[in-house]
Amino acid sequence: MKYKITIIYLLAAVLMLTAGIYSIFYFTSFQETSREKDGGKLVEQAEIHLTFWRNSGTKLENQAYEELVADFNKDHPTIEVEMVPVPYGDYELKLRTEMAAGDPPDILTIDTPTLALYASAGSLMSLDDYMRQEGHIEDLASPTLKGITYKDEIYLSPIAESSVALFYNIHLFQKAGVPLPSKNPHEPMTWDEVLEASKKISALSPDIAGIDPAQGFPNGESPSYFKMPILWQFGGDILDPGNQTASGYLNSPASLKALQFYQDLYQKHQVAKVELPQEALETDKLGMTVLGSWMVESLIMMNPDFRLGEDFGITALPKGSEQAVPNGGWSLGISSETDYPDEAWEFIRYVTSFEGAKKYVDITGDVPARYSVADAFPEFNEYPKNIFVEQAQKYSRNRPITPAYPVVSDAVKTLFEDVGIGGKDVKTSAEEAVKKINEELNDME
């Protein structure tokens, strides 16, 4: 019996010694696996992993973000940002699904008009303290700052701003005997002048459309982004300043005038077509169209034989009683569910800082959100990019900042389809849109 007890104690001692040795070996191995060799030296691997979702954009936008993420990871060895690009058409649904499931990314891009929806639901963390202390908000134009703010709290940080302009085919203008528009961003054509030019251009051939006034009739957010400015340009609006009602705004005399003018381009004057061939502007089948600032580089890259100044030109958006362009775009925010808010902010601060935004703009050619970045590029003070910058800084407006925005956007999209494609009565269509929006606003009270 004594012999057996001695053996048991001996085995226990051996097991304890083995466990101790294994623990030392495991801890040493863990330390080794948390490092990697770089030129014979041991370098720490990332201790914090952050997921970053963004809507997949143009080739140049994707390249810019890939380089910024790579630069950040290199300069921050203890933080690893994993970027997940999601196709534009799938992004919102996928993001909301993951938020509802409680598994959102740490960092995400948000289209500014949908900010209120996410902020009111508690899905976004306020960046107010970060932005006011380190975000250099004095470097942002007031419309840009307003677009990233909800209930006096800043929730997003922008890297670029959006703006649109009127692109025109020089050959068709010359053939129709129409004077080329001004290159001055403060001297736009009036909508009446655009109509007269469109008539002359359309008369050249049945295959030619004078104008695509607001990017046709696609799905998604594009219709509201491109079409709301028409209401503003005629003195109309969508909601009251407090975003409480559409009554008296979307159905105001000024808004109805804008809608009637838009309808007449398609139905009465027939200078606009519901369906256009691909590359209509480039193939001399379209006189004028509205495109975004992001399309300047892409258009030249995709069609090197279609030359700015020789084949096409760019001028400010047309005006009715006033100048107005849309603003807003995809800005960066932090999920309220993240375990690493400071590290997530460090990434956002880096990407949207002067240096980060400068690199992004250098690659994409997009209009920068910051004054300082715009000043760093001489071309933003010259034609044609000065048109986008001047409009964004002096004439841009925000789409309504309200949790009901998805319904507002859909109602505006349907309204323009009804009057443009369907030729429905403008006042009746506007009243239907007002009713739909107000019902959603009232349900949220």
Give the pLDDT of residue 444: 85
Q: Which residues, 6 or more positions from 435, have their beta carbon under 8 angstroms from its beta carbon?
A: none
**Could you tell me if 325 and 388 are in contact, meaning their C-beta atoms sit under 8 angstroms apart?**
no
Q: Would residue 400 be called left, alpha or beta, if left means φ above 0 and alpha means ψ between -120 and 50 degrees?
A: beta
Residues of 148-170 as b/e, b for ≥16 C-beta within 10 angstroms? bbbeeebbbbbbbbbbbbbbbbb
| CA gap 245, 440 in Å, rounded | 10
pLDDT digits (tens), the chain, 445 positions:
333 333 333 334 433 433 443 343 333 333 333 444 444 443 456 689 999 999 998 888 999 999 999 999 999 999 999 999 999 889 999 999 999 999 999 999 999 999 999 999 999 999 999 999 999 999 999 999 999 999 999 999 999 998 999 999 999 999 999 999 999 999 999 999 999 999 999 999 999 999 999 999 998 899 999 999 999 999 999 999 999 999 999 999 999 999 999 999 999 999 999 999 999 999 999 999 999 988 887 788 888 999 999 999 999 999 999 999 999 889 999 999 999 999 999 999 999 999 999 999 999 888 999 999 999 999 999 999 999 999 998 999 999 999 999 999 999 999 999 999 999 999 999 999 999 999 999 998 6
Any idea where the domains of the chain sit in the sequence?
Answer: 45-162+328-397, 164-213+272-326, 214-268+404-445
**Could you tell me if 214 and 305 are in contact, meaning their C-beta atoms sit under 8 angstroms apart?**
no
Comparing CA positions, the residue from 74, 10, 3, 69 lying closest to residue 43 is 74
What is the sign, positive or negative, of the torsion defined by CA atoms of 68, 361, 161, 54?
A: negative
| CA gap 66, 333 in Å, rounded | 18
Task: Assign domain 164-213+272-326 one CATH number from 3.40.190.10, 3.30.450.20, 3.40.50.2300, 3.30.420.40.
Answer: 3.40.190.10
Count other Cβ atoms within 10 Å, centred on residue 311.
15
**Could you tell me if 213 and 198 are in contact, meaning their C-beta atoms sit under 8 angstroms apart?**
no
Let me know how long the chain is. 445
Give the pLDDT of residue 88: 86
Give the pLDDT of residue 44: 54
Comparing CA positions, the residue from 245, 310, 267 lying closest to residue 445 is 245
pTM, 2 dp:
0.85
Give the pLDDT of residue 12: 40
| CA gap 402, 238 in Å, rounded | 12
Query: What single string gives the DSSP state of each residue in 193-221?
Result: HHHHHHHHHHTT-TT-EEEETTS-S-STT
And the tokens for 169?
């085919």
Q: Which residues, 6 or more positions from 59, have their beta carbon under 8 angstroms from its beta carbon?
A: 298
CATH number of 45-162+328-397: 3.40.190.10
Cα angle at 121 between 115 and 123, to 5 degrees? 75
Tell the residue number behind the tokens 């709290």, with chain if given.
153
Comparing CA positions, the residue from 263, 289, 197, 286 lying closest to residue 422 is 263
Comparing CA positions, the residue from 262, 252, 266, 272 lying closest to residue 427 is 252
Q: Taking the mean position of all CA atoms in its chain, how far away is CA 352?
A: 14
Give the pLDDT of residue 278: 92
Give the pLDDT of residue 45: 60
What is the sign, positive or negative, of the torsion defined by CA atoms of 371, 375, 379, 384?
A: positive
